[in-house]
Structure 1
Amino acid sequence: MPDVTLSLPDEILLALKLTPNQLGDEMRFAAAVKLYELERLSSGAAANLAGVPRTVFLSKLADYGVSSFRLGKEELSEDMRSA
């Protein structure tokens, strides 16, 4: 897996009260959530990026204001007709 290096001001670590490793984990998870929200990654791929099992990833989406429930317009319309 490739490494990505990001330089951040020390104030960020102080403001968030995180170690560099903790901040890296949090940023990785947040990036995975955003890429999932934008439908650029599946939930499985996003969970892999976040470094957690898929079930854990899906259960934490609400903490970021992202729904784990996805239906397209056609699927939603079909469900509404069937109800």
Structure 2
Amino acid sequence: MTAITIQIPDSVLPVLHLDPAGFVQEMRLAAAIKWYELRRVSQEKAAEIAGISRADFITALSLAKVSPFQLTEDEVREELHDLY
């Protein structure tokens, strides 16, 4: 596993009411959700990045108001059209 070190101002953690471990977990989840939303990673890979199960990642997507589906509205229509 690769370790990455980032520096943040000392004032950030108290504002967010997080300890360093909580901050890392939230950063991993936020990055995973955003990369999933941008279609850069699959649900499985995003869950791995976040360090949670796929089911928990889908729940996190819902809480973040991000669709668990990577199809656009037009793609869904096209697939439905192909069924009939």
Q: Report the TM-score range of the alignment, normalised by the length of the smaller protein.
A: 0.7 to 0.9
Equivalent position of 2:78 in the other structure: 77
Q: TM-score, normalised by structure 2?
A: 0.87
Runs of 5+ unmatched residues, structure 2 = none
Q: Distance in 2 between matches of 1:74 and 1:26?
A: 32
Equivalent position of 1:60 in the other structure: 60
Q: How does 1:9-28 map to 2 (within 5 A)?
A: 9-28=9-28
Shift of residue 40, structure 1, vs aligned partner: 0.3
Where relative contact order (Cα < 8 A, 6+ residues apart) is larger, the structure is 2
Q: Distance in 2 between matches of 1:43 and 1:59?
A: 11
Shift of residue 63, structure 1, vs aligned partner: 1.6
CA contact (8 A) 2:39 2:70 kept: no
Runs of 5+ unmatched residues, structure 1 = none
Ranges of 4+ aligned residues in structure 1 off by more than 6 Å: none
Q: Distance in 1 between matches of 2:79 and 2:5?
A: 46
Q: How big is the alpha-carbon RMSD for the aligned residues of Structure 1 and Structure 2? A: 1.8
